[in-house]
Structure 1
Amino acid sequence: MSPDPLPDPFKDLDPAQTVRVLPRHLAGPGPAQPETIWPFPFEDGWHLHQGIEGMVFAISPSARLWTRFAPKPEERSQGTWTIGMNHVAFGSRAWEITFDATTPAEVLLDVHTELLDLYLEDRYSDQDRLFEDTTAAQEVYTPLLTRGWGHTIKTDGTQTFLTPEGLGGVHHRYDTTGSDGLSWRAWGGSPSEPYWRARFSAGAPPCSLRPSPPHWSPPNRCIGR
């Protein structure tokens, strides 16, 4: 007589119940709400603007660093989170980072927090890391290798890092000669049909891609919530 099958822990979940989902990059988008993504001190000169069709902007006091959320629920990506840095206020763009709206909220919060830290460092010092970040590329991918990610390198000036289960990756163009302007790409899910994608133009601070510390623990929530 075969033993009774184990009960499905995800069956008949209460709407208010949450579960812990790992790995983090497959945890689903979570709440796509600016107040949970943007750590900016709006009481200290940051500006919040509401655009058309649900678009929301946040702009730094210098009007050089900005970010926006443009929801498009009819698309697979559900819209985009875009971060940009201008050479001068409202001037030409120095670099841009774009995330699908399906990107886990924790990843978005990490990147915005890292860039806010750089902004504050630059504001109160003579540094300019938002334009000239000295973070070496190996600081981004060394933690991946120490956690068992695979690594392939090509003679076309690109290298790719894949998670052990193959459901996530980081692509780096270390030779920008003749490139499409993208320096880094990251995704969660299958490379051919990812759940979410992130794209970093040349000039974007490499430190914004650094993984969270190994002790970091994501909040409890269900896939897709």
Structure 2
Amino acid sequence: MPDTPRPYRIAPRYLANADADDSEALQPLLDADWARSQDQEGNTFVTAPDLRARLAHLPGSDGRVLWKAGAGPDAFAPPEWLVTFDNQTPPEVVADFTTALADTYTHGPDAYLNRNDRTVGVDTCLQLLAEGWSLDPATPFLTYRSPDRLVRLHVRDTPLRHEAETAGDTERWLFEVGPPGQVWYATASSRLPEHLLQALTTAVTDPSPVQRNMRRIDLDHLPHQATATPSVPTSLEAARIRAATSRSTSSPSSRQPAPAALPAPIGASTAVTPRRSPP
């Protein structure tokens, strides 16, 4: 029997692969009447009506960064803050952040720009500690680890050049997610407003399951800490089961093969100690 894709629910979602519909991350901004454009390389740019805030989806560019979001005081000014997601980030994570950005935009520039020109994050870090995260003294940064040890938040507590941050050469906040060898990254610069940093943190760490159409061979490449549970049968599988049941009912004496059993859930939640340091 061919190894055809079928739907599975993958939990936690931050261990799901990035193979899903990227348009989900663009839609909250498009629904808020942001303008969409595209270049010849297939990159998509979504811009707020006042031209101050923007999102870029960059599948046609070199490098690992797939998503960039930022905002500035006017259409021609460099961004005041920058948030990035790499090409292995589950798009549901990006969608949660763009949903928060679209909502924040409706409250005006004071909501989506850091008018005080200050480093934020104290409230966010205190909240993580209250939720059972721990500080790791073995890194050169302030590193917060989630209870399952699969999400690390590295905070650079040294002075950073604003121009270097907005160019993507360095970052104040670095999320490192996944076990060694299967890590994805999200970053944020110093002047990201606190409530957007909190929204980013919530998006990255949300354990809710997500659906992926996967083959058995794909399941083998999931982190072993992830759990994959079969979703409802496909319409074709359901039709085959109904046909087999009908034949069995109408001809009790005939021996019909039983429908194939659904694959059992795989994976179990275990803790690992990451071995890599942030770039």
Report the AA paired with residue 43 of structure 2: M
Out of 17, 22, 43, which is 1:28 matched to?
A: 17
1:142 Cα offset (Å): 4.1
Residue pair 2:70, 2:81 contacting (<8 A) in 1 also? yes
Q: Distance in 1 between matches of 2:160 and 2:131?
A: 30
Task: Report the equivalent of 1:151.
Answer: 135
Structure 1: gaps spanning 5 or more residues: 1-10
210 and 135 in structure 1: CA distance in 2 versus 1, 3 angstrom threshold: farther
Task: Report the equivalent of 1:219.
Answer: 210
Out of 199, 205, 208, which is 2:199 matched to?
A: 208
Q: Distance in 2 between matches of 1:20 and 1:175?
A: 41
Task: Report the equivalent of 1:168.
Answer: 151
207 and 130 in structure 1: CA distance in 2 versus 1, 3 angstrom threshold: farther
Q: Which has the higher strand share?
A: 1
1:186 Cα offset (Å): 0.5
| Equivalent residues in 2 for 1:1-225, closer than 5 Å | 14-15=4-5, 17-33=6-22, 35-42=23-30, 45-72=33-60, 77=64, 79-122=65-108, 127-132=110-115, 137-153=121-137, 158-176=141-159, 181=165, 182-190=171-179, 193-205=181-193, 206-212=197-203, 217-221=208-212, 222=214
143 and 218 in structure 1: CA distance in 2 versus 1, 3 angstrom threshold: farther
Secondary structure of the structure 2 residue equivalent to 1:52: coil
Residue pair 1:82, 1:98 contacting (<8 A) in 2 also? yes
Residue pair 2:93, 2:204 contacting (<8 A) in 1 also? no
1:52 Cα offset (Å): 2.1
1:42 Cα offset (Å): 3.4
Secondary structure of the structure 2 residue equivalent to 1:71: coil
TM-score, normalization: structure 1? 0.73
1:41-70 CA distance string (max 9 Å, x none)? 536541100112111100000111001111
1:202 Cα offset (Å): 1.6
Greater length-normalized contact order (CA 8 Å, ≥ 6 residues apart): 2
C-alpha RMSD over aligned residues: 3.6
Task: Report the equivalent of 1:5.
Answer: none
Secondary structure of the structure 2 residue equivalent to 1:121: coil
Identical residues among aligned pairs (%)? 26
Q: Which has the higher helix share?
A: 2
Report the AA paired with residue 141 of structure 1: C
1:17-64 CA distance string (max 9 Å, x none)? 22121222111113252x211233536541100112111100000111
Structure 2: gaps spanning 5 or more residues: 166-170, 223-279
